[in-house]
Amino acid sequence: LTKSAKSRRSISIIANYAFDIKKFLDVGKNNFSPSPNVDSVVLKIIKKKSVEKDLIYVINKMFSYRRKTIQNIFKQFGKETIIEKRLDDLSGDEIIDLAKEILKR
């Protein structure tokens, strides 16, 4: 969904993990009445896998500490790691993997 690391939110990480999301159709603002100030897009969303509530909780919690290092985020869960990067430095898959790591320890 969102490509820029700074504008990513937990919902985009979870959605990209659980669903295959593709742009299906552009819809111009002239197709609405009254006409909005923006154009729209129709998305095709296909479920890939289920996401456990615990994983959603951990990812949401991780994003509440997004300016902290991964090392400090792990401390919030009573865990340890040597990773000194921040969430914005990681891919969506890496964030999912870290959340799973927090859950299994």
CA 33 to chain centre: 33
Query: What are the residue boundaries of the structural domains of the chain, listed by start?
Result: 10-18+50-104
| Burial of 38 per CB tally in 10 Å (0-12, 13-18, 19+) | exposed
pTM score, two decimals?
Answer: 0.81
Residues 21, 40 contacting (CB under 8 angstroms): no
| Burial of 24 per CB tally in 10 Å (0-12, 13-18, 19+) | exposed
- The CATH topology of domain 10-18+50-104 is Helicase, Ruva Protein; domain 3 (1.10.8)
CB atoms within 10 A of CB 86: 17
Q: Is 58 helix (H, G, I), strand (E, B) or coil?
A: helix
What is residue 66's predicted lDDT score, i.e. its pLDDT?
86
Residues of the chain with pLDDT under 70: 1-5, 105
